[in-house]
Structure formats: C-alpha cells, structure tokens
Structure 1
Amino acid sequence: MSASAAHDWYLVSLRPRGQHAPMRSAAARHGGGVVAISPWTLRPRDDEHAGASLASALESPRVVFTSPAAVRAAAALRPLRPTGRQQWFAVGAGTAAALAEAGAGEVAAPTRMDSEGLLALPGLQDIARTRVGLVTAPGGRGTLVPALEARGATVVRADVYHRQPLSPSPRAMAALRGLDQPAVLAVSSGEGLQQVLLNLPPDLATRLRELPVVAASDRLVELAGRLGFDRASRARSARPADLADAAAATLR
C-alpha cells in the first residue's frame, strides 16, 4: 500500500521528533495526512552552565523566549516568574501559551509570529544600554542577536536545550518515496529544512524540492527559493493550524 492511500493529500512535517501530533491534527481538519521527517530531536540541558546562564538571563530587564521548547527547558531548571519591573517577550502565540502554562502570566507577543514581528514590538525598540536575556538554543533565529545588539542592547544568552541531528528514518524515506497524492511541505525552521535536504538521498531531496512549500515567514520563503523550491508561499505563522490552512489553500 502506498503512503498516501488513506488520505486525499499530505502535509510533509519537519517538526522535531515526537512533535508531529499537532501537525497531524491540523492536516486532518482539511482531510489530509502527514509524512513526518524529523531533522532532529530536542534535548534539554541541565548542566551547571545552563543553569547559571539562565539565572543571569532571567535577571535582565527584558527577557525573550524563542520557542515553547525553550520555555519548557527553562522551567525545568528554575521557576519562571517575571518581576514587576521586567518585560518578558515570546516570539509567538505558542511560546506565550507555554509561558502562561509555566506560571509566567501574560507576556508580550507579536501578531506576526517570527523574528521580524518580535523585533517590531514597542518594548524592544528603545533598548540602548539595556540587558536583554535570550532564552533559546544554539542555532536558529540568527537575526535576533545582531538586531538587538544593533539597537545598543547587551544580549545575555541562555542556551537551555540543543538540537540533536537525526538521519531520516527508513519509514520516513519510504513514506516520501511512496507519495502518489498531492503533498505540501511545511517549513517553520530554515535550519531544519537544510538539515533534511543534507541527509536525504539525492532522489528524495529532488522529490522534496518538487513539492510546493508553505513557510512560516518571508525569510523562509526566500530561503526555500534559494534551496531550489520553485513554489513557496507564506503561512500566517508557524502554528500547525496556520501551516495546514495555507497548505490546503495551495492545493485548491
């Protein structure tokens, strides 16, 4: 049986290992299935350096969290409770929800859920000679630190988890090779897309490039074009529902 026998179309998900369920639910609302190809698995850090750097970052007047995974990893190390004089920021609604679940209360988050939207928030404009804590992981969102430093901020970085690269599983490669129904590639991480293309066999990398792309930001749309994808459009955000909505619209 082909990978696509059970559904009319497929969304190719590049989420970390174990995090494809929201994509499956979102695609299912449009009658689609998911082919899961994980570029990496996420590993929280619990070493002394991670704890110390997090403590320093959380003492900053402004603190930025770059992903729900960063929130969960940080919350495992210490309580997340902003003081009245601090401003905390989330890169998007999912990260803000994770902070609320961790007990941090309401934080500022952009409507445009990407680095550019975050940098446009009023609280991150006048930051000359201000310490800005950045709770994140190595790699990813490479525009944030230079942009904050260009505004005169001192960035106090806390890498609270890391991405452990994975080779595509035989099951994932068989599913991609067996696709005979329409499919769309969802891209929410440029680094993840590059990792998958690097590790796929040449024939499957070519197959992947034949698919239309829905990307979570303008930057990712441009990156997809540079990586050889001819059809790329932007979703409203990196949220699974928005990516699935954009994918379904692409196939209409």
Structure 2
Amino acid sequence: MPVSAAPPRWYLVSLRPQGGHEALRRAAARRGGALVALSSCRLVFRDDDASRQALDMALASGLAVFTSPAAVHAADALRPLREVADVRWIAVGAGTAAALRRAGAADVAHPARMDSEGLLALPALQRIAGTTIGLVTAPGGRGMLLPALQARGARVLRADVYAREPVPLPVHAIARLRTADAPLAVALSSGEALSRVLARLPADAAMKLRGARVLAASERLATIAREAGFDDVVIAAGPRPSQLAAAAGFDRD
C-alpha cells in the first residue's frame, strides 16, 4: 500500500506576483509547511521607446539604483546591461545584486539590511546633494526611496521598466484559506501587495487571513501589518524566503 504524505504542519501564504512563489514553496516545505499562492498581480516587462529612453537617461546618470531582481531583468531586456559602462551599481538587496552581476554589472553595492531603510544608509547615498541618480523600478512599491533621495538634494531620474498588472485572486487559494486546518503565516515583503489582497478578499477569507501570523521583512512592514489589523506579527531576519519561513516558528511548536 502506498504511504500517504503527511499533512502540512502549517501554511505559508505568499503574496508575490504570479510565477514568483517557488522559492517560498521550497522554504516552507523544508520546515514542514505548504504554500498558499495568493497573487493579486503579475509582472509585465515594458518594451517601448519611452521606457527605453527613460532607462538610458537613468543609466547615464552614472549611479543607478535597482529596487528588485525584476527591475534588473526588465532593464536588461530593454538594454543589455553588460554593454553599459561607467555606472556605479546599487541594489536594494543581495538577490538584486546577484541579478545585476549575472547581467554583467561589476562592483555592485548593496546593504546588509535588505530594505529601503538599509539602502538609504549606504555610504554611496550620503552627501548626494546636487548629484543625479537613476532609479530603476516599477510604479508603486519602494515608495519612500524617491522622496528620501530628493530630500537629500539629489536629482532622481526614474525609469519604470516593468509594471504590476492586476489579476483575479486565485479561487483555489481563497478556498485553501477558508478550509486551512493548520496554522497560517503570511510572508510579508510588500505592503502594497498586502493592501491589494485585503481589499479584494471575500470578508470571511480576509478575517481568516488576519488571524494568521505575519512574517514581516522589516519593522516598517510590521507596522503596516499591525495597522491592517494583524495582531500576531514577528520580524524576520530579512526578506529572503528562508529567513521568512524560519520566522514562522511552527516547525518548532
């Protein structure tokens, strides 16, 4: 007789865009959990002359800040980054830095604290009054970076190289939320994603989600979760899937 797989000890809810859940799925599985993929959007790379021109201007600034691996991939599709010279490359975290290096960038700087606050603390982003900085990103998300850089006196050339396109919340994921008979945890690395999901979930599923433990990638995101009505909030060591899953603690209960 075949042996049935053991039921999951807990569920990790991923709010990442469509196609971006696999690393969290593996991280949860290593700790006896299963994934609930609750995407509210998909990523769409831009491929038009205006976006290409904006990227060229951002890179020509000589100091380019990339806010996600997706920003790197989208930019590289518009303009191969290995062909760009004389740029100081800055990444929001290790994953974005690795994507830049794979695209051919050298000497990429990134903070140990992989969030907007950590990025703003980098030496390269101090004393920037009168300088020009390229910000390679997408509409929404990392909303504090642009005003913070401008407040320091920098001229910021923003290049939105991809967009988040809304998609219907997955019916099967909503059903899993409603019927989950094991603890729930939400991997939170985007306040915008949390807001989109809560606004579109049916009331009963939203109530079930608010009873979950939130695994926040930063103190700022923990504050957002509490303001959204979550009571059980812990701050992970960082935004990586392994760090978020480790913060759940259900494998130790």
TM-score by length of 2: 0.94
Please give the alpha-carbon distance, in whole angstroms, between the structure 1 residues aligned to 2:191 and 2:221: 6
Q: Which residue of 1 aligns with 2:57?
A: 56
Q: Which residue of 2 aligns with 1:240?
A: 241
Please give the alpha-carbon distance, in whole angstroms, between the structure 2 residues aligned to 1:141 and 1:205: 25
CA offset at residue 5 of structure 1?
6.9
What is the identity, as a one-letter code, of the residue corresponding to 1:181? Answer: A
Q: Which residue of 1 aligns with 2:27?
A: 26
RMSD: 1.5
CA deviations 1:136-181 (Å, max 9, x no partner) are 0000111000110011000000000000112211111111111001
Please give the alpha-carbon distance, in whole angstroms, between the structure 2 residues aligned to 1:215 and 1:165: 23
Please give the alpha-carbon distance, in whole angstroms, between the structure 1 residues aligned to 2:210 and 2:9: 20
After TM superposition, the structure 1 stretch with the greater mean CA deviation from structure 2, 73-82 or 133-142, is 73-82
CA offset at residue 55 of structure 1?
0.4
CA offset at residue 249 of structure 1?
6.1
Aligned residues: 248
Q: Which residue of 2 aligns with 1:139?
A: 140
Stretches of 4+ moved more than 6 A in 1?
none
Q: How does 1:164-179 map to 2 (within 5 A)?
A: 164-179=165-180
CA offset at residue 105 of structure 1?
2.4
Does the aligned pair in 2 maintain the 1:61–1:130 contact within 8 Å? no
TM-score by length of 1: 0.95
What is the identity, as a one-letter code, of the residue corresponding to 2:93? Answer: G
Q: Which residue of 1 aligns with 2:85?
A: 83
Secondary structure of 1:230 counterpart: coil
Q: 1:250 to 1:114 in 2, by over 3 A?
A: farther
Please give the alpha-carbon distance, in whole angstroms, between the structure 2 residues aligned to 1:60 and 1:149: 15
Please give the alpha-carbon distance, in whole angstroms, between the structure 1 residues aligned to 2:64 and 2:251: 37
CA offset at residue 251 of structure 1?
6.2
Q: How does 1:197-236 map to 2 (within 5 A)?
A: 197-236=198-237
Secondary structure of 1:42 counterpart: strand
